[in-house]
Amino acid sequence: MGFGRLLTAMVTAFDANQKLDLARQTKVIEHLIQTGTESLVVAGTTGESPTLSKEEKIELFKHSVAVAKGRVKVIAGTGSNNTAESVVLTKQAEEAGVDGIMLVNPYYNRPSQEGLFQHVKTIAESTSLPIMLYNIPGRSAVNMTAETVSRLATIPNIKMMKEASGDLGQITEIIRNTPDDFIVYSGDDNLTLPILSIGGHGIVSVSSHVIGSEMKEMITLFLEGKVDEASHLHQTLYPKCKALFSAPSPVPVKRVLSHIGIETGPVRLPMVSLTEEEEKNVLQAFL
C-alpha cells in the first residue's frame, strides 16, 4: 500500500493551556480518516512544528500511529535546519512506528544546492523509511531545484515530494526528470488539479481538514477522465481553500474546525487568533 492521493498536513490539538491534548488529537485523526484522508503528516508546518518540543513531536508520532492502527499511513515531519538533530529525530520517529518521513528544506541558513543534497542524503541514509522531500521556498527561503530533486531521487528510499513552490514549470521538470515511481504531491491546495494535470499524484492538504470528501471526489473525477466535472468542483472549492490561507496557517483552519464542532484549541505564539474581521471573512466561505 502506498501513501494515497489525499494526505493531510495535520493540525496539532492543544488544550486551553496550550499543552498537547491527545484526546482532541484522536478526534481530529478519526475525522480525517472518515473524510477521505489516506495518510497523516504529523508535526509539519500545519502542526505548528516550530513551537513543538522534540518530546512533544515524538509523543505525537506515537499517538498518531496508535490511533491510526494501520487504517492510514503516518508520515513524521522530522526535517529542520540542523542535519544532526534531524537524524536523531528521524531515528526516534522510526522507533515510534511511523511509515515515512518528511524533510522540509533547511530554513534560515539558506544552504547551497549541494548543501541541500548532502543534508537530505545524510538523513535518508540514517533510516530505512521512505522519505518525502518538502520544497516550500516561501517559508524556507531556499528553493530545491529540479536538478537537485533529480539527484536525490536516485537515493533508494527517497520516494516522493511535496512541492509547494507554486512553479508549474519547475514541477513539470521534476516529474519529467525523476523515475516513474517517484511521486510528486502538490503542496498548495489550490493547485491540486493543475498539478494532477501535469502528472502529479495528489495533494498534501490543509483544506482537507474541512473539505476532505470534496477534495477526494475532485481527484477521483480527474482520474476517471471526468475533467470538466473535476474542474467545476475545483472552481467551487477554490474560495474555501483561499479563505483557509487568508491569515497565517494553521490559524484559519483551526477556527473552521471549531466552527464545525472539532475543537483543536488555540495556536501557540508567535501565531495569534484571527481578528473579528478575519474570522468573519473566513467563516463566510463556509456558510
By C-alpha distance, which of 199, 194, 200 is closest to 241? Answer: 194
Output the nine-digit C-alpha cell for 247. Answer: 491569515
Q: Is 6-225 in CATH node 3.60.21.10?
A: no
Q: Which residue has 535546519 as its cell numbers? A: 81
Residues annotated as catalytic (active site), given as ranges: 134, 162
Neighbours of 276 (CB within 10 A): 8
Q: Where are the alpha helices (DSSP H) in the chain?
A: 22-34, 54-68, 83-95, 113-124, 137-140, 146-152, 168-176, 192-197, 208-223, 227-243, 251-259, 276-284
CB 90 within 8 A of CB 127: yes
- Please tell me the pTM assigned to this model: 0.98
CA 215 to CA 58: how far, in whole Å?
29
Residue pLDDT tens, the chain, 287 long: 599 999 999 999 999 999 999 999 999 999 999 999 999 999 999 999 999 999 999 999 999 999 999 999 999 999 999 999 999 999 999 999 999 999 999 999 999 999 999 999 999 999 999 999 999 999 999 999 999 999 999 999 999 999 999 999 999 999 999 999 999 999 999 999 999 999 999 999 999 999 999 999 999 999 999 999 999 999 999 999 999 999 999 999 999 999 999 999 999 999 999 999 999 999 999 98
Collapsed DSSP state (helix, strand, coil) of residue 224: coil
Q: Taken in order 274, 280, 284, 287, is the CA torsion positive or negative? A: positive
Q: Which residues share a beta bridge with 132?
A: 102, 160
Cis amide linkage into residue 156, ω under 30° from 0 = no
Helix residue ranges, H only, 144-284 = 146-152, 168-176, 192-197, 208-223, 227-243, 251-259, 276-284
Max CA distance (Å), the chain: 49
CB contact at 8 A, 133 and 150: no
3-state secondary structure of 162: strand
Q: What is the pLDDT of residue 287?
A: 83
Which amino acid, one-letter code, is at 58?
I
- Report domain extents, the chain: 6-225
Q: What is the pLDDT of residue 197?
A: 98
